[in-house]
Chains A and B, each alone.
Chain A
Amino acid sequence: MGFLELRHVEKSFAEAQVVTDFNLSVARGEFVSFLGPSGCGKTTVLRMVAGFEAPSAGAIVIDGQDVTALRPNRRNIGMVFQAYALFPNLTVAQNVGFGLRVAGQGRAAIAARVAEMLALIGLPDLARRYPYQLSGGQQQRVALARALAARPRVLLLDEPLSALDARIRVSLREEIRRIQKELGITTIFVTHDQEEALSISDRVVVMQQGRAVQTGTPFEIYNRPASRFVAQFVGTLNLIDAAVRDAAGGVVELGGAPVALGRPLPAGAVGLALRPEAVALGRSPEREVVLAGRVAEMHFLGAVIRLRVDVAGQIIALDTFNRPDAPPPEIGASVEISLSARDLLVLED
């Protein structure tokens, strides 16, 4: 049994079903991300764990205790909000110590814990500042310290990086992960940014229309997406509709050439997915399928160059490392690309 369990949780607002039969078991100290587009129900699930929304059905269990009917202030959960939600009238130290004061701890204990938390987030000198005197990144660090100060059982992070600029987002997410590992606290992280979710999570729950459509490690989610939706939502993807030549033998036609996938296929056509990084420019010894095409687009992304190659009317994107001694091909140039049949994912829906 997991430390945090969501069992057949459902939520509907009036006629609209927002969360449907949501099941999840989170181990103690695990970092799990809810990933999905806006309106997929990920924040609603988080708010049900926090106690701000009551499930229409199902149960939420923390450390063996059913907390479904418990009010938020009785759950001993820490939460960081997208909009920081620091109390504007209180200093940083007072904000961090708020939960401890509510719990009735003594002044000395509060001061010691606040100092410890501020050291943990790397802002030991800002105790007397007010939130409006801090940058966005500093405010979110303080919000994290405040959420952790009272030693909660579970930490909930509701898109905590969305309001920050790109560079701070990356550094803060690494810091969140470091602190989470250091404290070993069970954490749920809600985000619509797949890079964020994949980079810091032990497991990712991909959500679509109120359902968890796939749960797995970032490696599994990225490399073995369970559906077309997951494949499209997580990372960049080539979606190829290929004609099936031999259904029983698992052979499809790709760019005019037969490609054996080594598994039985439905007759007619099949949807294939291929990551751009699995395709190489030119021939490559470990890639047995070679296709000829013409460069349709070229995007210089710095370390990586993304080419979009027209192969018999089918556009295939591929990523190649930028090498100063080998400039990328011109648009319109004839090129060969190679790929391996084992990298082609057959999409079930």
Chain B
Amino acid sequence: MKRLLPWAVFVLAALYFLLPLIGMFEFSLRMKRGQYSFEAYRVVLADPRFQQTFLYSVILALLTIVLGALIVVPTAYWVRLRLPKLRPVVEFVTLLPLVIPPIVMVFGYIRMFNTSSLLPLTGSWWGTNVLVLFGYATLALPYMYRAVDTGLRSIDAATLTEAAQILGAGWARILAVVILPNVLVAVLSGAFLTFAIVIGEYVFAALLNLDTFGPYMVWMGGNRAYEPSALAVIAFAITWACMGMIQLVSRFLRH
């Protein structure tokens, strides 16, 4: 009986998790009457707007990863090395995006950077993209910071830094040649999580009027029957592919 209970809980949880997915997948195959087919997927993948918005979101996600890594790696490294007392404060700050809803953040951004402000970023296409990029980097901060901090914990960053310093290296070289390669797995873990978040993000994109993959999915959901399910399955597959990549990269890059 004692052994059965955990299994029963596991099966119930699996059903709770998998049944809606199976239902959605099954529904996405029913576009052609009386038979299962991948017609909905064909339609979605052939849609130029899908290609355009998806590509746009992929580019934004990649840029967010670069920006996030540039902000987080030196910060986490410096906090660990020189400002360990500040760690709880920095951790708290990095957790804020989890407790402040994105809609609050985006309204704050619009208020701060609207066309009549000192820095009117929303007034141009480039400015808006820069704004959304920083917004996405903020959204990904809890995941990126934790991943990198965990990576730094697994290496003796202080001694490696001193070893590089005594050999003549400056801070830039230490970060680029010694620290970053040794926390690369952690950075990539954070990067894949960032990718998964940005690719389906809706609130920032919709309120800043950007035609990314998130708003496209919502538009599709309001106007089509089978294609939204196909899109959801695709988005879900991308997320899981990212998770799988984290595992793969962790396995192959381990020194």
Contacts and interface: CB of A to CB of B under 8 A. Distances in A.
Interface of A: 50-52, 71-79, 81, 83, 85-89, 98-99, 102-103, 130-132, 146-147, 150
B118 interface: no
Interface residues of B, number: 20
A71 B159 CA distance: 16
Interface in B170-196: 170, 173, 177-178, 181-182, 184
Given A88-B182, A89-B181, A89-B182, A81 B169 contact: no
Interface stretch (B23-31, B160-168, B201-209, B215-223): B160-168
Contact of B167 (A88, A89, A99): A99
B93 interface: no
Given A79-B163, A83-B159, A88 B173 contact: no
B255 A130 contact: yes
B245 interface: no
Contacts of B170: 73
B155 interface: yes
A79 B184 CA distance: 26
Contact of A102 (B167, B181, B184): B167
Majority-rule SS of B interface residues: helix
Interface of B: 155-156, 159-160, 162-170, 173, 177-178, 181-182, 184, 255
Contact of A150 (B167, B173, B177, B184): B167
8 contacts: A50-B166, A78-B166, A85-B163, A87-B164, A88-B255, A89-B255, A102-B167, A150-B167
B156 A73 contact: no
A73 B165 contact: yes
Contacts of B181: 89
A79 B166 CA distance: 7
A88 B164 CA distance: 12
5 shortest interchain CB distances as A-B pairs: A99-B167, A85-B163, A89-B181, A102-B168, A88-B255
Given A98-B167, A150-B167, 7 more contacts: A73-B168, A81-B163, A83-B159, A87-B164, A99-B167, A102-B169, A150-B168
Given A52-B162, A83-B159, A132 B255 contact: yes
A146 B162 CA distance: 13
A87 B179 CA distance: 9
B159, B166, B178, B181 — most chain A CB neighbours (10 Å): B166
B156 A146 contact: no
Nearest to B255: A88
B155 A103 contact: no
A81 B168 contact: no
Nearest to A77: B166
A47 to B, nearest CB: 9
A107 to B, nearest CB: 16
B167 A85 contact: no
Contacts of B173: 102
A102 B173 CA distance: 9
A72 B156 contact: no
Contacts of B255: 88-89, 130-132
A85 B168 contact: no
